[in-house]
Amino acid sequence: MSARIKAGDLVMVVKPAVCIGGALGIGYVYQVLDVITHDRAVCVHCGRSHGHVEIALEKEDLGVETWRLQRLDPPAESVTRVTKEEIKA
């Protein structure tokens, strides 16, 4: 893993959840709201807890384990923010 994932980072899911395998969710991109550690987080795929995990939240109660994510560089801000200057015809 490269630099640690933190709030505000743009991340992409690159590994499947341990319980489902396959490619479900791979390639999904989102911006991290916050990074938390959790001992009893319930997996959305199997409904069980996978133990102590570090989760990059997308929403208040929804996120993906950080080991399944790849941080995208450069961050979203510099890629997606278009200044007035740039869009003027």
Q: What is the DSSP letter of 42?
A: B
Tokens of 34: 């916050």
Q: Whole-number minimum distance, CB 31 to Zn ion, in Å?
A: 23
Which residue minimizes CB distance to Zn ion? Answer: 43
The answer to whether residue 24 forms part of the interface with Zn ion (CB under 5 A) is no
The answer to whether residue 19 forms part of the interface with Zn ion (CB under 5 A) is yes
Q: Which ranges of 1-89 does DSSP label H, i.e. alpha helix?
A: 76-80, 84-87
Asked if residues 35 and 7 have their Cβ atoms less than 8 Å apart, the reply is yes
The answer to whether residue 44 forms part of the interface with Zn ion (CB under 5 A) is no
Binding site residues, Zn ion, CB under 5 A? 19, 43, 45-46
